């Protein structure tokens, strides 16, 4: 279903979220129906929690609805909403860490596969929890790039295009981020043995 004022790929004609797309209730509803799944999935991959992903989904679309005519300039509505979901999910994790100073969530403990042993499942849950904590501590741009590359499978060139930076900047940032996360998770694993 195509939203009035948008092209087939979700690019908003005139490079702005137009009144036709947002000013009327049906336009916003259509945008929501078309993009809610992708926004939710992006948030869930980061937060690991369905309720938090629902909160992010609501936040993203409430912000979009509030902007109306004052909506930011966007070239592709789908990419804009996707990035908003990633940033909102990371903000949620950062806020939780700063408010409480305790772990972001209880160890998940759900097996990764049907035959995963309980101790393996618990360790996998702990690694995911630690990774979320480490992502929340990263600079926002580095965390966003990491999520786009490794959670969502975007290519470096696509990330560069989305963020308006060079492919070299993406590659360097991802390399440094990987090394930082490996160091943090490696230190945690060494401390457990």
* Closest among 10, 149, 4 to 74, alpha carbons compared: 10
164: how many CB neighbours lie within 10 A of its CB? 7
Q: Which residue has the tokens 């930011």?
A: 72
User: What pLDDT does 47 receive?
Assistant: 87
Q: Which residue has the tokens 């109306």?
A: 68
User: What pLDDT does 130 receive?
Assistant: 84
pLDDT by position in tens, the chain (length 193) = 333 333 333 333 333 454 445 455 578 888 889 999 999 998 998 888 899 999 999 999 998 888 766 666 667 788 889 889 988 998 888 887 655 443 433 333 444 445 556 777 777 778 888 888 888 888 989 998 998 898 888 899 999 988 899 999 999 999 999 999 888 888 777 777 6
Q: Which residues contact 124 (CB under 8 A, 6 or more apart)?
A: 108, 111, 112, 116
User: What pLDDT does 74 receive?
Assistant: 66
Q: Which residues pair with 6 in a beta bridge?
A: 12
141: how many CB neighbours lie within 10 A of its CB? 15
User: What pLDDT does 46 receive?
Assistant: 86
Which domains are delineated in the chain? 1-102 (1.10.1740.10)
Distances (CA, A) of 173 to 104, 129, 145, 146: 25, 22, 8, 9
Segment 79-131, tens digit of pLDDT:
889 889 988 998 888 887 655 443 433 333 444 445 556 777 777 778 888 88
Q: Which residues contact 27 (CB under 8 A, 6 or more apart)?
A: 3, 4, 5, 20, 21
Q: Which residue has the tokens 């904590």?
A: 133
């Amino acid at each position: 279903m195509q939203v009035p004022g948008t092209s087939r790929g979700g690019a908003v004609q005139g490079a702005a979220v137009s009144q036709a797309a947002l000013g009327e209730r049906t336009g916003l509803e259509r945008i929501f129906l078309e993009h809610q799944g992708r926004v939710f999935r992006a948030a869930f991959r980061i937060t690991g929690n369905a309720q938090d992903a629902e909160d992010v989904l609501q936040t993203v679309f409430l912000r979009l609805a509030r902007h109306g005519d004052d909506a930011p300039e966007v070239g592709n509505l789908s990419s804009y909403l996707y990035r908003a979901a990633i940033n909102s999910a990371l903000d949620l994790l950062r806020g939780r860490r700063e408010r409480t100073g305790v772990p972001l969530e209880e160890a998940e403990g759900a097996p990764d596969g049907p035959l995963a042993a309980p101790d393996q499942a618990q360790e996998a849950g702990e690694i995911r929890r630690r990774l979320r904590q480490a992502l929340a501590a990263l600079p926002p741009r580095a965390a966003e790039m990491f999520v786009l590359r490794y959670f969502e499978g975007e290519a470096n060139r696509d990330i560069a295009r989305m963020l308006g930076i060079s492919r070299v900047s993406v590659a360097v940032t991802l390399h440094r981020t990987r090394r930082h996360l490996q160091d943090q998770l490696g230190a945690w694993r060494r401390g457990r043995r």
